[in-house]
């Protein structure tokens, strides 16, 4: 099964600020919720939790019904979330700012699940140095997190996109494309990275471990839905941390869970554990809280919003990267405070850390 993660063309959190006066008009309280997710090592726990009754357990605790739907097409999951068909969705920080937020949908990150620490990579054919990428066509999903990684890689050697030719290629076609003579450079994510690297000609010359903490994977929800239904956020946090504890356990049960998640993502136990090793998973809520409250997060989002503005992905006619406001757990805001559409909060993760869900 091919992963379809992090596509921009389809990337906040102070509890009172996130769910307070800057939120849009209140939604009616409800008990039925819909969650969308797609294949990626850091999101596989959602499918496992749904299949093994963990979703139902936490939904029942709060008197809710939570329907969890897997999408093989991340584009469609993002579109449906943005259109309001789903209450929550898995996405990367870059995508969250460029699609729902830029589309006017006020979005709050309920859970900061991980950051890519090697799962995303720049790969060259028969070349072992990143500097060799110059003057080559580079196949990737345009305006995606792969595009962001390419920009960061080029910057590290004093180059820019003017030194390469970006070729927009569907993630579903990248493995096959690499086998053709004309394709000499690709940027993508796992499990595609691992598959491509099985070819002896493929050389990884840069990966996300060189920009740690910048490609962040989240579970986000509509801010108005969380404001009127905080039990939904609590249930999501409960589901996540119970499943993560099992996924990372050095027990037979943990190994079985990892093997099942690996199989469901198109690999095996060994392949899945290799992907986990290239991911900084926040299996402990306290670690996720510390990361989200860190002063490094605004610095990361500054890079992200600058990249998106340069690509024209913050809305038609956006005058600057400040057009969209982003809030953080300390109450600070990047961009327009009158147009906050992307929010980082530690509220629900903190409840999990304290054992008070």
What does the pLDDT read at residue 2? 43
Q: What is the pLDDT along the chain (357 residues), one digit of tens a residue?
A: 444 444 444 333 333 333 333 344 555 679 999 999 998 899 999 999 999 999 999 999 999 999 999 998 777 898 899 999 999 999 999 999 999 999 999 999 999 999 999 999 999 999 999 999 999 999 998 888 899 999 999 999 999 999 999 999 988 899 999 999 999 999 998 888 989 999 999 999 999 999 999 999 999 999 999 999 999 999 999 999 999 999 999 999 999 999 999 999 889 999 999 999 999 999 999 999 999 999 999 999 999 999 999 989 998 889 999 999 999 999 999 999 999 999 999 999 999 999 999
The pair of structure tokens assigned to 43 is 């999101």
Note the CATH number of domain 15-115+214-354: 3.40.190.10
Sign, CA dihedral 230-77-2-182, equals negative
Residues 6+ apart with CB under 8 A from 269: 255, 258, 259, 262
Rounded CA separation 107/87 (Å): 10
Q: Do domains 15-115+214-354 and 120-210 have the same CATH topology?
A: yes
Rounded CA separation 251/45 (Å): 17
8 A C-beta contact, residue 327 and residue 344: yes
Sheet holding 165-168, edge to edge: 165-168, 137-140, 185-189, 120-125, 202-207
DSSP state letters, 59-82: HHHTT-EEEEEEES-HHHHHHHHH
What does the pLDDT read at residue 17? 32
What does the pLDDT read at residue 292? 98
The pair of structure tokens assigned to 247 is 């996924």
8 A C-beta contact, residue 328 and residue 12: yes
Locate the domains of the chain by residue range: 15-115+214-354, 120-210
**Long-range contacts of residues 273-276, Cβ cutoff 8 Å, at least 24 apart:** 274/194, 275/41, 275/119, 275/190, 275/191, 275/194, 276/41, 276/248
What does the pLDDT read at residue 28? 61
CATH second-level architecture of 120-210? 3-Layer(aba) Sandwich (3.40)
What does the pLDDT read at residue 27? 54
Rounded CA separation 197/201 (Å): 8
């Amino acid at each position: 099964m091919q992963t379809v993660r992090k596509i921009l063309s389809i990337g906040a959190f102070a509890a009172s600020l996130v769910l307070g006066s800057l939120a849009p008009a209140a939604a009616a309280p409800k008990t039925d919720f819909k969650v969308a997710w797609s294949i990626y090592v850091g999101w596989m726990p959602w499918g496992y939790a749904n299949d093994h009754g963990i979703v139902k357990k936490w939904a029942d605790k709060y008197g809710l019904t939570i329907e969890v739907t897997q999408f093989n097409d991340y584009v469609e999951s993002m579109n449906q979330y943005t259109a309001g068909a789903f209450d929550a969705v898995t996405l990367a920080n870059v995508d969250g700012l460029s699609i729902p937020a830029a589309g006017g949908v006020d979005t709050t990150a309920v859970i900061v699940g991980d950051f890519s620490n090697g799962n995303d990579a720049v790969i060259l054919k028969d070349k072992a140095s990143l500097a060799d990428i110059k003057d080559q066509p580079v196949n990737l999903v345009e305006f995606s997190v792969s595009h962001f990684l390419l920009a960061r890689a080029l910057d590290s050697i004093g180059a820019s996109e003017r030194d390469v030719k970006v070729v927009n290629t569907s993630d579903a076609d990248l493995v096959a494309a690499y086998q053709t003579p004309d394709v000499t450079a690709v940027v993508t994510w796992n499990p595609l990275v691992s598959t491509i690297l099985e070819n002896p000609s493929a050389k990884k010359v840069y990966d996300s471990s060189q920009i740690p903490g910048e490609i962040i994977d989240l579970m986000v929800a509509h801010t108005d839905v969380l404001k009127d239904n905080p039990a939904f956020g609590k249930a999501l946090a409960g589901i996540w941390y119970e499943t993560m504890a099992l996924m990372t356990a050095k027990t037979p049960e943990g190994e079985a869970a990892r093997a099942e998640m690996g199989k469901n993502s198109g690999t095996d136990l060994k392949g899945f554990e290799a992907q986990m090793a290239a991911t900084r998973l926040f299996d402990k809520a306290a670690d996720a809280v510390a990361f989200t409250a860190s002063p490094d997060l605004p610095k990361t989002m500054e890079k992200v919003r600058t990249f998106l503005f340069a690509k024209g992905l913050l809305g038609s006619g956006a005058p600057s990267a400040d057009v969209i406001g982003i809030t953080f757990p300390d109450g600070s805001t990047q961009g327009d405070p009158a147009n906050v559409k992307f929010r980082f909060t530690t509220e629900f993760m903190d409840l999990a850390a304290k054992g008070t869900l």
